[in-house]
Amino acid sequence: MDLKTKLEQLFEENHKQIGRTGDLDELNQIRVNLLGKKGPITEVLRGMKDLSADERPKVGAFANQIKSDLQDAIAARKAALEQAVIQKKLAQETIDVTLPGDQVIAGTPHILAQIMDDVETYFIGQGYQVIDGPEVEEDHYNFEMLNIPKDHPARDMQDTFYLDSQLLMRSQTSPVQARTMEIHDFTQGPLKMISPGRVYRRDTDDATHSHQFHQIEGLVIDKHITMADLKGTLLALAQHVFGADRQIRLRPSFFPFTEPSVEVDVSCFRCNGAGCPICKYSGWIEVLGAGMVHPNVLNAAGVDADAYGGFAFGLGPDRFAMLKYGIDDIRSFYQGDVRFLSQFQQEG
């Protein structure tokens, strides 16, 4: 067999094999075997020394042509295989952008949390501290320190959950104020605080009563505090919560821990005083209780009642929410019905 035929055969065999290869490693192996120093083409070129002088350049040129064609075939196959790898990867990672997306359901803070946050933020802006206290409370702080000794008739005003003879579920957030007054250093400045939180009463649940509800109580103790300070504070609060046009009126009342004590009405935000079902056609809505801190409460906390005085007030976020949004059943707040709660999307 002459060298030319040998080269043609080499080309035929290897060109086919290159075309069949489906693996990059295998293709590389073919390249090394075919074109390397010990490969068949090198071997053919070595045989050229036996050729005649005029045949040698022709066969040499032909051999180089075969070598170059095979190199091209390997390069083309390599590119095709690499492209196939990319295509396979792309196919596996395909995302169908026409599929419907997952709906993200955004929650919203509970309506009572929204109202409490709003009132807290308001008072922080007025220089008050927000102070938490225990829900399981001592009789001492819940009653005794607030001028409600044992057998005091005022204890009947609050049906209390007792855990034992000394421990109870707090019936008001005022014990937090008693605890704070006790430790506050009045030489460092006045005490201005609110105590928001859950309270508990032994009530039978119905549309207007719940065995748990919320309070935000406020307390200011300093020298020279008067009832005018209380009235100004409450007017500004009522206008913040119920609208800038609101007015307030104070009516005499009784609480054991304040003297004098007042019930606070706000002018009806629905009818502006003309009369409607919300204000029971009186033009006024009762929204909170307040008063000047009783000297007995100051003395019990070790505060000199001759030098210091102050005011206290307590409001019910549950009642505020019911009034503001026309909710007629307090139990709605505590039943966790998302259909009800999701109506109160947070503003802003």
Residue closer to Zn ion by CB (options 131, 276) is 276
Is residue 284 helix, strand or coil? strand
Q: Write out the H or E segment, with its range, that includes residue 290.
A: strand 284-293
Rounded (5°) CA angle 206-289-334 = 30
- Min separation Cβ 95 and Zn ion, Å: 58
Query: What do you get for the CA distance between the two ends of the chain, in Å?
Result: 92
The yes or no reply on residue 282 touching Zn ion (CB under 5 A) is no
The yes or no reply on residue 276 touching Zn ion (CB under 5 A) is yes
The yes or no reply on residue 45 touching Zn ion (CB under 5 A) is no
- Min separation Cβ 322 and Zn ion, Å: 14
Give yes or no for a contact between 19 and 78, defined as CB atoms under 8 angstroms apart.
no
- Min separation Cβ 259 and Zn ion, Å: 31
The yes or no reply on residue 279 touching Zn ion (CB under 5 A) is yes
- Min separation Cβ 280 and Zn ion, Å: 8
Residue closer to Zn ion by CB (options 252, 277) is 277
The yes or no reply on residue 287 touching Zn ion (CB under 5 A) is no
For residues 241 and 285, what is the distance between their CA atoms, to the nearest angstrom?
13
Residues 255-274 that bind Zn ion (CB under 5 A): 268, 270-271
Residue closer to Zn ion by CB (options 184, 319) is 319
Query: What letters, b where the CB count within 10 A reaches 16 and e where it falls short, cover 235-249?
Result: eebbebbbeeebebe
Cα–Cα distances (Å) from 317 to 111, 117, 119, in that order, read: 9, 10, 9
- Min separation Cβ 214 and Zn ion, Å: 24
Q: Which residues bind Zn ion (CB under 5 A)?
A: 268, 270-271, 276, 278-279
